[in-house]
């Protein structure tokens, strides 16, 4: 029987950056579950905390940043479903053992993350050798299979990064991320700065990770159109918290949260009448001083008196969708804010 528990359960994750002016609370209480074999999207404006969240679970946060609290339970062992790892608690060496093998990363600007003085095949060999040392022939076969899966010829392994186009380098990074067939791949803005044709090829490659390899993918992008194309479920983040979480159909066809609605209405539709796009008034607040009450209240056209004084709870709707907004909370007095 398949294990129905989530592959990754993030609970109350808080990631802060200390400064002389105080703590920047970039991620401030996030709960998310990622299931096996799904593509989970993280969306929101720049600075909402989505990249910091994934860097946190990958343990890539450097001082003065730190994980202040929270857990990230990872269950990559289908043969031992009871076993889980709290990524937050792993030390450097334990993290190194699971990186690439169970959990891999396609970083922002990954095209520039390749070593410029090593041939592609040698860089990929290094990844395999650390975890599964074996004969060079077997390693070459794995590398050829990974390159083929992203639509690149085996012969490309003999080239240096500067001999490849941006799209090819991006696909090499994706091939490296899947070399050891990890259970979870985290892709942070993998299509940013690519032209639309290459973007399409990269999206198809990421969908392949799920379809052919059975991997789950956490896909981070500020581009809602890309989410609509690729993901199964998604979370909309704002000011370090999740405002709405649901399937991609729920989010795009019937957004509930005032912030999600404005985000969706701010992107042009390909069909339908030509009409003026709505923008969200004002600027996203600073993580040094989030507004009291609901963090979206200074920009929210639906705000009620409770919004400026009381922090909204996350409410689960009957469809399983989650919304962090007073308007959905039956226990809140919208005029006063007291629960
Ligand atoms: Fe708008 Fe209030 Fe809901 Fe926040 S809690 S999104 S301010 S209505």
What is the CA(226)–ligand 1 centre distance, in A? 26
Percent of the chain clearing pLDDT 70 (strictly above): 96
Q: What is the pLDDT of residues 26-53, one digit of tens each?
A: 999 999 999 999 999 999 998 899 999 9
Alpha-carbon distance of 226 to 53, in angstroms, equals 20
- Angle (CA) 53-56-62 rounded to 5° is 125
What is the torsional sign of CA 92, 98, 100, 106?
A: negative
**C-alpha distances out from residue 168 to 110, 205, 268, Å:** 11, 12, 29
The CA-based dihedral angle spanning residues 44, 47, 49, 50, taken in that order and rounded to the nearest 10 degrees: 50
Q: Answer yes or no: is the C-beta of 30 below 6 A from any ligand 1 atom.
A: no
**Segment 133-191, tens digit of pLDDT:** 677 888 888 899 889 888 889 999 999 999 998 888 888 998 899 888 899 999 998 88
Residue 323 corresponds to which tokens in the numbers above? 């919304």
Of 139 and 118, the one with more pLDDT: 118
Average pLDDT over the chain, rounded to whole?
A: 90
Chain position carrying tokens 């996030």: 30
- pLDDT value of residue 228: 93
Question: For the segment 268-320, what is each residue's pLDDT rounded down to a tens digit?
Answer: 776 666 777 778 888 889 999 999 999 999 999 999 999 999 999 999 998 88
Q: For residues 137 and 211, is the Cβ–Cβ distance under 8 A?
A: no
Q: Which two tokens stand for residue 64?
A: 């003065």
**The token pair that represents 71 in the structure block:** 């857990």
pLDDT at 132 over 70: yes
pLDDT greater at residue 270 or residue 260: 260
CA 205 to chain centre: 17
Report which DSSP code applies to 40.
E
Nearest Cα neighbor of 249 from 228, 266, 235, 267 is: 228
Give yes or no for residue 326 CB within 6 A of ligand 1.
yes
For ligand 1, whether the C-beta of 239 sits within 6 Å is no
Residue 303 Cβ contacting ligand 1 at under 6 Å: yes
Query: SS3 letters for 165-218?
Result: CHHHHHHHHHHHHHCCCCCEEEEECCCCCCCHHHHHHHHHHHHHHHHHHCCEEE
Q: Which atom of ligand 1 is nearest to the CA of 302?
A: 8
Mean pLDDT of 76-81: 84
pLDDT for 339: 55
Instruction: Pick the residue whose CA is nearest to atom 7 on ligand 1.
Output: 297
Q: For the whole model, what pTM was predicted? A: 0.92
Q: Is the CB of 300 under 6 A from ligand 1?
A: yes
What is the structure's pLDDT at 26? 97
* DSSP 8-state assignment for residue 297: G
**Binding site membership of 31 for ligand 1 (Cβ less than 6 Å):** no
Query: What pLDDT is recorded for position 191?
Result: 81
pLDDT in tens, 199-223: 888 888 889 888 888 899 999 999 9
């Amino acid at each position: 029987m398949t294990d129905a528990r989530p592959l990754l359960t993030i609970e109350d994750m808080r990631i802060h950056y200390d400064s002389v002016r105080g703590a920047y609370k970039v991620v401030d209480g996030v709960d998310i579950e990622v299931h096996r074999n799904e593509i989970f999207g993280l969306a929101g404006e720049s600075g909402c905390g989505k990249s910091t969240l994934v860097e946190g679970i990958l343990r890539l946060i450097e001082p003065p940043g730190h994980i202040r609290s929270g857990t990230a339970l990872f269950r990559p062992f289908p043969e031992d479903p009871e076993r889980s790892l709290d990524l937050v608690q792993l030390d450097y060496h334990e993290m190194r053992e699971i990186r690439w093998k169970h959990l891999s990363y396609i970083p922002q600007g990954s095209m520039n993350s390749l070593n410029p003085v090593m041939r592609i095949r040698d860089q990929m060999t290094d990844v395999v050798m650390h975890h599964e040392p074996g004969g060079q022939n077997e390693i070459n076969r794995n590398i050829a299979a990974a390159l083929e899966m992203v639509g690149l010829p085996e012969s490309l392994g003999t080239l240096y990064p500067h001999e490849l186009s941006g799209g090819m380098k991006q696909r090499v990074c994706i091939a490296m991320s899947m070399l050891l067939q990890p259970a979870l791949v985290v892709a942070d803005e993998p299509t940013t700065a690519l032209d639309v044709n290459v973007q399409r090829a990269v999206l198809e490659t990421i969908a392949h990770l799920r379809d052919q390899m059975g991997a789950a993918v956490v896909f981070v992008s500020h581009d809602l159109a890309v989410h609509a194309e690729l993901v199964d479920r998604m979370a909309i983040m704002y000011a370090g918290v999740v405002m709405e979480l649901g399937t991609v159909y729920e989010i795009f066809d019937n957004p509930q949260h005032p912030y999600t609605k404005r985000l969706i209405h701010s992107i042009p539709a390909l069909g339908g009448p030509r009409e003026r796009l709505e923008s969200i008034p004002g600027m996203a607040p600073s993580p040094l001083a989030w507004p009291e009450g609901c963090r979206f209240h200074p920009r929210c056209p639906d705000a009620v008196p409770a919004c400026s004084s009381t922090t909204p709870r996350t409410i689960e709707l009957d469809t399983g969708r989650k919304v962090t907004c007073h308007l959905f909370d039956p226990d809140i007095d919208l005029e006063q804010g007291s629960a």
